[in-house]
Amino acid sequence: MLKFTRMGTAYMLSVTIKSFISPYVTQDETMQEAPPTTSEAQTPRSPRLFVLSLVITAIVFFGLGMLVDSTMRDSRSSSDVEVARAVEATFIALTPTATPFPTRVPTDQTLAEHNPFLGDDDAPIVMVEFSDYQCPYCAQFHAETPGPLLERYDGLLKFVYREYPVIDPPLSVDISVAAQCAGIQDKYWEFADSIWLNQASLARQPITPDLLVEFAQTAELDVEAFNACLDDGTGLNNVVVDYEAGRNYNISGTPGFFINGNRFPFGAAAIEVFIEAIDAELERMGITPPN
């Protein structure tokens, strides 16, 4: 068995707030009056007495209605106040109090030594992604965007990946740890490509040691060394470092990006949006963007 350490609340970024739904349902009922008997039908009624009886009946029902409504309001008032206070307290507790992260930080602060990357290590543009292997937008981004960007900015772009397992922590953490262990054998991207291609099926089954070994074999890893990494905590430590960095940078969703330390305001945007941002950064550095 793998000795995965569960990080508990450190990975539980999202909190579900249950809605309070009123139990009161109003239903319209159709009241049908029984047909009169033969004697009733033959007995004439005084118009004045009939009208007076209707007025008296209306007054009685109005008074009863006001009394019932007042009683219900009084009985629910204390409960409603308690619910309102509980909801208000919950939202106050969940309101971020940290100082907003600046839009630009030194580039070297947005990545760590263990982070896998594609492109030129000395490229003038460093694009850092915080991502989760259970994020469908991240999968779409990886299928469509990094390859064309690296081809367009050959020698000018370094693309860096950081683990940010926030969607389904037990599952996402296990996958991220395994990917980091693949990276130790310089097979990170081979392992990652297999995970992205099988994202949907992974979401429907538990992550077991045998399943991870299958992905490791697909990536042509040394399985014995891979299992040793899973057990000794090396991969997990790397994931924790990335996760804590994302929290410190106030990454609120995946994928999240920095371009030369500049916080990219969009997630899995169209490639044209990334090109515009990268071209602007190149021009700021005095480098002519490629056509």
More confident residue, 180 or 39: 180
Which pLDDT score, from 0 to 100, does residue 104 have?
84
The pLDDT tens digits of the residues spanning 171-212 come to 899 999 999 999 999 999 999 999 999 998 888 888 888 999
113 contacts 242 by C-beta, under 8 angstroms: no
Task: Tell me what pLDDT residue 262 has.
Answer: 95
For 124-134, what is the mean pLDDT?
A: 97
The predicted pLDDT at position 4 comes to 39
Q: What is the pLDDT of residue 91?
A: 34
In one-letter notation, the amino acid at residue 12 is: M
Q: How confident is the model at residue 49 (pLDDT cuts 50, 70, 90)?
A: very low
Buried b (16+ CB within 10 A) or exposed e, 227-244: bebbbeeebbebbbbbbe
Sheet architecture: strand order including 125-131: 117-119, 157-163, 125-131, 256-259, 262-264
Q: Where are the alpha helices (DSSP H) in the chain?
A: 38-42, 47-94, 136-144, 146-152, 169-184, 188-197, 199-202, 209-218, 223-232, 234-248, 271-284
Task: Give pLDDT tens digits for 53-93.
Answer: 544 555 544 555 554 444 444 444 454 445 445 434 443 34
- The answer for residues whose C-beta is within 8 angstroms of residue 207's C-beta and 6 or more apart is 171, 174, 175
Asked if pLDDT for residue 95 goes beyond 50, the answer is no
Instruction: State percent of the chain over pLDDT 70.
Output: 65
Give the pLDDT mean for 106-128.
Answer: 97
Respond yes or no on whether the N-terminal peptide bond of residue 44 is cis (omega within 30° of 0).
Answer: no
Where is average pLDDT lowest: 114-118, 159-163, 164-168? Answer: 164-168
Residue 43 has, within 13 A of its CA and on its CB side, a CA count of 8
The CA dihedral of 141, 144, 149, 150, to the nearest 10 degrees, is 100
Three-state SS string over 197-235 comes to HCHHHHCCCCCCHHHHHHHHHHCCCCHHHHHHHHHHCHH
What is the distance, to the nearest Å, from the Cα of residue 46 to the centroid of all Cα atoms in its chain? 72
- For 61, list phi and psi in degrees, rounded to 5: -65, -35
Number of residues assigned to the chain: 291
- Residues 229-274 have pLDDT tens digits of 999 999 999 999 999 999 999 998 999 999 999 999 889 999 999 9
Neighbour-count burial for 3-36, b at 16+ CB within 10 Å, e otherwise: ebeebeeebebeeeeeeeeeeeeeeeeeeeeeee
Q: What angle do CA 81, 85, 90 make, to 5 degrees?
A: 150
Interatomic CA distance for residues 196 and 147, integer angstroms:
14
Instruction: Residue 159: name the closest of 133, 130, 187 by CA.
Output: 130
Distance CA 126, CA 31 (A): 75
Above 60 in pLDDT, residue 149? yes
